[in-house]
Chain A
Amino acid sequence: MKNTKLLMTFPVTATSHAMADYRARGGYAALQKALLQMTPQQVTAEVSASGIQGRGGAAFPAGRKWGVVNLNDGQPHYLCANADEGEPGTFKDRWILEHAPHLLLESMLIAAYALQVRNAFVYIRGEFDLPYRRLAAALDEAYREGYAGERILGTEFSCDIVIYRGAGSYVCGEASALITSIEGKRGYPRNRPPRLTVRGLYKRPTVINNVETLSNIAWIITHGGAAFKNVGTEKNPGTRLISISGHINRPGVYEIEIGYPWAKFIYEDCGGIPGGRALKGIIPGGISTKVLTAAEIEPLHLDDKELNAAGSSLGSGGMIIIAEGTCMVRLLQVLLRFYHHESCGQCTPCREGMGWLHRIIDRIVAGEGRPEDIDRLYQISAWNDGTTICGMGDAAGYATSGILNKFRDEFEHYIAHKRSRCGGNLECLRSS
């Protein structure tokens, strides 16, 4: 199995994030190529041809998103890089921001050229400290070298990039909440329609892409969309950054080609599960994707198509490995505490439902669960399915019903016996 790498192509050193090293790796050649040899339409066409799908979780084709923006509508357009990486288990964008900030900036400038954007934004989560400093330093370097700002590389194209730091809200990673936050308002998601590509930031057409999605653009321009399509699977080309955590010997960020066998990835690349314990299940792409049991995931390849068929998705690539001996009731409690804490409180099903879910699971863990509580958890999840302004209500519902579907017997046991079948510990005890 080949495992082509597009992003993690260089050894991380003390200076590998800086301009000098980036240029030595061939950096900013793609920007030069796009600005000097291509029209904006050609850039968009190349991105469409690459078939790259969004890496933030929704897997929407980037080329289609860009194609909605009408370059001749006489309005300003905006571009936002979504670096508000808040999905628990996901820390892949952090790697790009820390080690390849210029890759993001170059790709953003290319995207800005394709969409004729004068002002682009990076919305970076407030908890990111080193990534923010690295990105800010890289942006300074880019301005100094004339890659950003007025008349880039001597062409007519000008683009300013503004880094906007979030204030710690999970929901602000949702595209419409993100732009509302940039506008200086409370980070509430907006109702669709209108789509953000029609009426987004400051009521103008706005494209919002994940950091990882954007970071692939430089490679696509350098090598062409057709070359990108040769990487990964036919339906889902390219590579994915997988941030792996949980019960795993070598947690971290890995770049894998889409379609890479899951078992090989976990047991060879990541060193398997500590203490030689058996696998209980995994959360494949951030906690908002449905949990898969060991039997379900082990034969699969890391490809959205296969994971979707199994009832889950690669999501944002935040993989959490759960070893045998983990209490799924306690795990769900942790997830629901997070969703309750992060619900923005705008629309009814999520605002009230998250707290309700959390109170029920707290009560079960405290040994005061009732048999009907499981049905209630299902019911509240269903009430949030597709009925909220943004996807957070759905996500919490998927996480809840996903765990209940696969591990219902543990919940029944906990309610009946007022204690966990797994010893009641969330963390697995180290066997060594």
Chain B
Amino acid sequence: MPEIFINGQSVQAEPNQTVIEAAVANGIEMAYFCWHPQLSIAGNCRICAIQVEGRSWVEIACNMPVSEGLRVQTDSELVNEYRKSVMQLLTLNHPVDCGICDKAGECKLQDYHFQYNGAPSLSRDPKLRLTKFHPLSERIVLDNERCILCSRCVRFTHEVSKSKSLGITKRGDASVVRATEDGSFNDDPYSDNVIDLCPVGALLSRSFFYKSRVWYLQPTPSVCPRCARGCTVQLWHRKPEWKLNALDARHNVSIERVTPLENAAVNGPWICNVGRDLGSFFERPRAEQAMTNGSPVDLPLAIEHARRLIESAKRPIALLSNWGSNEELDAFERALGARFEAFYKIDRVPEPGEVVEDDLLIRADKNPNTAAARTRFAPFEGDAALDDATDLLLVWGEGLDFTRVPRGAQVILLGAWLHTDNAQADVFIPISIQTERRGHYTNFEGVVSAFELCVAKKATVADAEALFAALAAPPGSK
């Protein structure tokens, strides 16, 4: 364990660390653009300059191995001056169009300008013109004038996603990031990570393009339910104090964007593009009206109807959702586990064109909580479990083909999404979705992650956890 000194402060470093790694691991502030803990060292931005005590020149911290007793300064006069010069050079041809840039507010270039430079540009010459709005892929737009050529995105596609679909072409200050001509960047299921990696506003998400200033949004920790990996994510939605009254009110409740929530135990700093699209996934048309035999009724009436069905059933079977949280599955077991013969079913299977499985994150099981369901209930093996004696079927969630319901069986359906099957059920009770409640999922490796509430559910919609307790009560009770 070599001991090094950063600004005189003693730091215990790992033997193979670089100075920047040791500093970051010990909470010492370091400026960096091109360095990233998960990517190889590029050493091209030069902003992480440090000065070894006793030397009269600056070096870069990202490429300096630690050695016993190494003493470096991150804020000597020389380093400060040099960092200013790097900021001058980086902003030389940068358009500084923060006013219309989606990255503004979380841009390293902005932050470092205020922190380390603050001076106006020394240049009086016109800025270079490069491509604006270059379609890097169907999902990503590139603004070459904002790009500082840190090469993080290029290294990501070579080292992490392995699609090798980005590169830098041309030379000098005409250098531009471009995708390979075979269009393989479109097929990179992790491509949107380069938007987060980009330290400036060069790589822009089409789905978030000009949608909101980031300071109007707040991130809510959540778990991506689209596969058994259960990547932890942040769902960004509008802060209540910035509630829109005049414009499209949908923006007050919608998930405007999804970013990874770094989690070494599950997904590291990455998520796949399917997770990025959770916003539109959660915005599918919702079922918000309770029904009995296809006719709209108030929620309490539907619950009362369901209670009577449960009470009178001789052979009730429950098909439970592997999209239910750990708490909801427990609630069912506690409230209705004795009354029903319960199985868990597979709610979702891979969609056409979706990447089924790879060796980075994506899992073939496209459901979030199969691992937890499996420890509590038996799997639903198909028609064998549904015999003609079945007279009540409680179906929770998507994925059941209604033609498989035994004749003579009555159906209580708990669903969140609008579907023609909803009207076929004897009782349909709308339930909340993940963004409307709190809970935990257990991923395929047994790691339990929490998701938090983003927006409150509507009053006409039930929470499954409370619903199971209500259904267990005898008919007529409050």
Do A and B assemble together?
Answer: yes
Interface residues of A (CB under 8 A from B): 169, 186, 191-193, 340-349, 351-356, 359-360, 363, 370, 376, 379, 383, 386-389
| Distance between Cα atoms of A379 and B81 in the complex (Å) | 12
Q: Given A169-B171, A345-B172, A387 and B82 touching (CB < 8 A)?
A: yes
Please name all residues of chain A whose beta carbon is closer than 8 Å to the beta carbon of B478 when the two chains form the complex. none
- Please state if A359 and B125 are interface contacts (CB–CB under 8 Å): yes
Q: Taking the complex as formed, is B371 at the interface, i.e. its CB lies under 8 A from any CB of chain A?
A: no
In the assembled complex, the Cα of A356 lies from the Cα of B125 at a distance in Å of 8
List B108-158 residues whose CB lies under 8 Å from chain A: 122-125, 128, 148-149
- 17 pairs of residues in contact across A and B, judged by CB atoms under 8 Å: A186-B167, A191-B43, A340-B172, A341-B171, A345-B171, A345-B173, A347-B46, A348-B47, A348-B90, A352-B89, A353-B89, A355-B172, A370-B124, A383-B85, A383-B88, A388-B46, A389-B44
Choice from A340, A342, A349, A356 contacting B86 with Cβ under 8 Å = A349
Q: How many whole Å from A289's CB to the nearest CB in chain B?
A: 20
In the complex the two chains form, what is the Cα distance from A118 to B85 in whole Å? 46
B residues in contact with A359, CB < 8 Å: 125
Shortest CB–CB separation between residue A369 and chain B, in angstroms?
11
- Using a CB–CB cutoff of 8 Å, the interface residues on chain B facing chain A are 41-47, 49, 57-58, 60, 63, 65, 82, 85-86, 88-90, 92-93, 122-125, 128, 148-149, 167-168, 170-175
Given A355-B128, A383-B89, A389-B44: A348 in contact with B172 (beta carbons within 8 A):
no
Among candidates A341, A351, A355, residue contacting B149 with C-beta atoms closer than 8 Å: A351
Given A349-B46, A356-B92, A386-B57, A343 and B85 touching (CB < 8 A)?
Answer: no
CB-nearest residue of chain A to B128: A355
A345-B125 in contact (CB<8A):
no
Task: Check A191 against B172 for contact (C-beta < 8 Å).
Answer: no
Interface centre among A191, A349, A352, A389 (most CB of B within 10 A): A352
Q: Looking at the assembled complex, report how far the CB atom of B470 sits from the nearest CB atom of chain A, in whole angstroms.
A: 63
Q: Within the complex, what minimum Cβ distance (angstroms) separates B109 from chain A?
A: 12
Q: Determine whether the beta carbon of B172 is less than 8 Å from that of A387.
A: no
Q: Report the bound CA distance from A344 to B168 in whole Å.
A: 11
Q: Which residues of A contact B46 (CB under 8 A)?
A: 347-349, 387-388
Q: Point out the residues of chain B lying under 8 angstroms from A347, CB to CB.
A: 43-46
Closest to B84 in A: A383
CA distance A269 to B433 in the complex (A): 90
Question: Please, how many angstroms separate the alpha-carbon atoms of A344 and B171 in the complex?
Answer: 5
Further contacts, 20 of them, CB under 8 A, given A191-B41, A340-B172, A347-B43? A186-B168, A341-B171, A343-B173, A344-B172, A345-B149, A345-B171, A345-B172, A348-B45, A348-B46, A351-B173, A351-B175, A352-B89, A353-B89, A355-B173, A356-B89, A356-B92, A356-B125, A359-B125, A383-B86, A387-B82
The 5 closest A-B pairs by CB, nearest first: A345-B175, A343-B172, A352-B89, A355-B173, A191-B43
**Across the interface, do B173 and A354 meet the contact criterion of CB distance under 8 Å?**
yes
Are A191 and B63 also in contact (CB < 8 A) when A348-B45, A352-B93 are? yes
Given contacts A345-B168, A370-B124, A352 and B63 within 8 Å (CB-CB)? no
Q: Indicate if the CB atoms of A376 and B122 lie closer than 8 Å.
A: yes
CA distance A148 to B93 in the complex (A): 51
Q: A379 CA to B42 CA in the complex, in Å?
A: 25
Task: Check if B60 sits within 8 Å of A343, measured CB to CB.
Answer: no
A residues less than 8 Å from B171 (CB atoms)? 169, 341-345
Instruction: Count chain A CB atoms within 10 A of each CB in B60, B82, B171 and give the residue with the most.
Output: B171
Bound-state CA distance A351–B150 (Å) is 12
- The smallest C-beta distance from A22 to any residue of chain B, in angstroms, reads 39
Q: Which A residues lie within 8 Å of B172 (CB)?
A: 340-345, 351, 354-355
Partner of B92, one of A169, A352, A363, A389: A352
A345-B175, A351-B149 as given contacts; A356 in contact with B43, CB under 8 Å: no
Least CB distance from A173 to B in Å reads 14
Asked whether B63 lies within 8 Å of A193 as measured between CB atoms, the reply is yes
Q: Chain B contacts of A354 at CB under 8 A? A: 172-173
Contacts of A352 in B (CB 8 A): 89-90, 92-93, 173
Q: Which of A191, A344, A351, A386 has the most CB of B within 10 A?
A: A351
Distance (whole angstroms) from the CB of B465 to the closest CB of chain A: 54
Are B60 and A191 touching (Cβ within 8 A)? yes
